[in-house]
Amino acid sequence: LAKLLLQNNANPNLTTRVGNHPMHFAAQKSLAFVQLLLEYGSKRNPRNSVCESASMVAANAGKTDIVAFFIKRGCNWARQNRFGRSIIDELIMSDSPLCEIPDFVIRKHLKHSKPQNKTSLMRAAQNIHPNGTTALQRLISLGADVNEVGCTGLTLSLIHI
């Protein structure tokens, strides 16, 4: 249906009242849908009124393949939404295993992220699904500091030992 509409001049850059683009909806669905919109002239990684980019929406939905696609095309993976969370934070919170995200991105995230509340490790440790453990292990293997203190003064080791 989307292809039919786009072939008949549907505008791939229309927005809702809160600023969501078709790309925001596609990023929750499939990589093929994202690629289709790009083929028909959609903005690459638009942001909505709460500063969420399409790549962040994909991260929140646990779509690591779509996030990796955006990262490979140069999206700003370190940019934060109005809640102070980056794409990597959103992936961790969505129980994603992070397996498709390049190591250098995660290392830079760990080095440069300034937790406003919880550290990346704390977010990963909160996941009760198996992927939470996978994300936690990957973060530690890539150099996450298990003693990093969040803004509340807590560390992962204080909570879980």
pLDDT tens for each residue of 70-121: 999 998 888 888 887 888 888 888 777 777 888 888 888 888 776 666 778 7
pLDDT value of position 40: 96
What is d(CA 67, CA 58) in angstroms, rounded to the nearest whole number?
6
Map residue 139 onto helix, strand or coil. Answer: helix
Q: What is the pLDDT of residue 65?
A: 93
Cα–Cα distance for residue pair 161/157, rounded to 1 Å: 5
**In angstroms, rounded to a whole number, what is the distance separating the alpha carbons of residues 55 and 37?**
14
What are φ and ψ of residue 61, in 5° steps? -85, 0
Average pLDDT value for residue range 51-55:
91
**Burial (Cβ within 10 Å: 0-12, 13-18, ≥19) of residue 57:** buried
C-alpha gyration radius of the chain: 17
Sorting pLDDT into bands at 50, 70 and 90, what band is 43? very high
Instruction: Please say whether the beta carbons of 95 and 129 come within 8 A.
Output: yes
Confidence (pLDDT) at 69: 95
Tokens of 146: 């298990």
pTM higher than 0.85: no
Would you say the C-alpha torsion 89, 114, 104, 106 has a positive or negative sign?
A: negative
Comparing CA positions, the residue from 81, 5, 78, 67 lying closest to residue 30 is 67
Q: How confident is the model at residue 51 (pLDDT cuts 50, 70, 90)?
A: confident
